[in-house]
Structure 1
């Protein structure tokens, strides 16, 4: 269903790039001419925006209406791409000089490195993004776009079970472990897993690893790249030990290795377990299967009650460096990122990557997730800056733990693989 959770999204509402064909046909004006041209509000012009997702809340229409209050003769061309091949189409359009003025994409670092994107470091909205979003849209210390939304990970729980057992969301890791023990004593599975779909293992591991790695060292994965730390060090080993504590104490359902994601979600809905540690698409999935499930959410704390939330930016937006209308494009982008517009965009669809956006959600658990994102620091998904081969070794280690074994040399193997394939990574 999903490949490696770094690429996961709870709710797939995505937008991407296409081409500014006029840029290939018209001569680029001098800086003075461009500035004079862009400052005019009474001229007719066209801006192109490309995307690949459905707009369920009237977001684009609202943005366009506001934009035309300032530029009444403007035309905004919304070019929708196929979500199956948008990345390939976008890249081809950029290479051929046919890309849109405003580009929704998922490869800001790559495109910035290639010189395709406008430097937007001076834009006021840059400081409104959560930490992990800022990291994702930056290259060489400059900001080349914004992330609209994120998927994140944590604990979704059955409020009816919690009320019956008189349980409260834990404030520390020790309280979380004690909570699991009480649920198990009551004859229920504390955490429902569907590990036959191996990607779901990461759903449990990522929120543990984010707090373990990035509280101990906020620059852990960058320091790894610089050769200052190792995967087989205290950061990852602490996360592995906590994951093993859950597995070896029997806090997952007995058939966790035999069932997949859909079956595990149904068990969660049926009340066979109290919690599901998973991504932020969970409320939407549960809502699509039942109307009477009462769900809550909490972020996983460490021993001292601190949390870092793994929050992976999904939909990203940039401006084509070759646009003929940079001032107007920046203004349109500022409207796309306006907090009220983003609240409309996010309503019952997505979690915003901006701290000041308060969206409406019919599921109360989504409100809990949104509050947590605004309250706690965020990080990229653990392993995001690992090589594929290093992540393979991490996955092998997690599978060994679930099968009842203790770790041996899996993390050392991850370090060997990382060094061997390090050249494949693209970092700032």
Structure 2
């Protein structure tokens, strides 16, 4: 049988395209070591692979905190970043120079499902969206042990004075009142960062003035208060003796099992407790970090991390297909079932009915008009890299709150200049 040259070439091209289509793609993925991140990615990749058998995933984990920041920035700069990676939204996203380093997601169909409050914190200076929410929104506040509160007849505090009074009662009962875990330095920042709802309640324009170099921590009493909280807790001697060496998982264990009455933390820790201490989950409660005025009690919230695709990835198209699916209602509800630790920012994405008590404690703040405020890092691109070292010093009694606020004001200058912000 004879074939014309053209038909032979056409047949060859069809065979080649078919082999390419079924050759398979392996997407490399970089995430942090947080158990919630791992659980979320696990359900997503398994479901996506079931729908797309030719796609495989090679997952790598990285450190958190400033070490993780350096890993992400270095790998982006050297072109060695994974095809898909998970990282913070907000100010740390802006520090990646997203207009140059990250793929544009504006053409993804699922972007219409993403709530505007999140889109704003993953949009570059060019107006292009470059991130997809990964995980729930988080509250920054204080986990507490409900059993200890019930045994001692304590009430959830609405002011800092009430919180410190509860700490004294817990200490008198022979318990650790406030678990601190400076072995993971990033955890030391919570009393400062989670206080921003209270800062904004007193100084509504602080974020804008801070970004414009018109307001400082050291010269704004409401802002300096977060550092003072750290100092007060140290001086009251209400923390665990090993606070300098204890780590994140130790703090979660302590508050869940009743070794400690409180642990200042983001609510993503709920998922870790659900996995590691399921029998104690019912004993875990949560409240917003109290301020000075009980009538102005509210919650500082963190936007979830996002999934990004580096512009230099060799698999940009396939990576964006995966990220596009992550933004669907189907994918979101898979994550919500695996990690029901807060509200998700995909429209019509429902939490399961049997949510943990600590999540139920958080939701009323979201339901109340004006009950939440974004953390400063989502309202300003400025966040100094040395904050976690400074807060460790204050929480350890090495540096005063006043000196720490002034030092942090110096720390942010370099980043503000690198970002090219006016008036710096």
Q: How does the TM-score come out when normalised to structure 1? A: 0.66
**Which residue in the other structure is 2:383 paired with?**
386
Cα displacement (A) at 1:162: 1.7
The unaligned stretches of length 5 or more in structure 1 are 1-43, 69-74
Tell me by how many angstroms 1:137 deviates. Answer: 0.6
Distance 1:338 1:218, change over 3 A: farther
- Gap regions ≥5 residues in structure 2: 1-20, 32-37, 63-70
Counterpart of 2:99?
A: 113
| Higher percent of residues as helix | 2
Distance across 2 between alignment mates of 1:239 and 1:213:
9
In structure 1, distance between residues paired with 2:273 and 2:322 = 36
- Write the distance in 2 (CA, Å) between the matches of 1:119 and 1:264: 37
Q: What is the correspondence of 1:25-424 to structure 2 with a 5 Å cutoff? A: 50-52=28-30, 58-63=43-48, 77-84=55-62, 92-93=78-79, 103-106=84-87, 109=94, 110=96, 112-114=98-100, 116-118=102-104, 120=106, 125=111, 128-129=114-115, 131=117, 133-140=118-125, 141-149=127-135, 152-195=139-182, 197-208=184-195, 210-216=196-202, 220-221=206-207, 223-234=209-220, 235-250=222-237, 252-253=238-239, 255=241, 257=243, 259-261=245-247, 264-287=251-274, 290-293=277-280, 294-302=283-291, 303=293, 304-311=295-302, 313-317=304-308, 333-349=323-339, 351=341, 353-354=344-345, 356=347, 357-360=349-352, 364-365=356-357, 367-368=359-360, 371=363, 374-375=366-367, 376-381=372-377, 385-389=382-386, 392-393=389-390, 395-396=392-393, 398-399=394-395, 402-403=396-397, 406-419=400-413, 422-424=416-418
> RMSD between aligned alpha carbons?
4.5
TM-score, length of structure 2 as denominator length: 0.66
CA offset at residue 105 of structure 1? 4.3
Aligned residues: 367
* Secondary structure of 2:217 counterpart: coil
Counterpart of 1:34 in structure 2 is: none
2:80 & 2:250 partners in 1: Cα distance?
42
For residue 342 of structure 1, report the CA deviation from its aligned partner: 0.9
CA deviation after TM superposition for structure 1 residue 300, in Å: 1.9
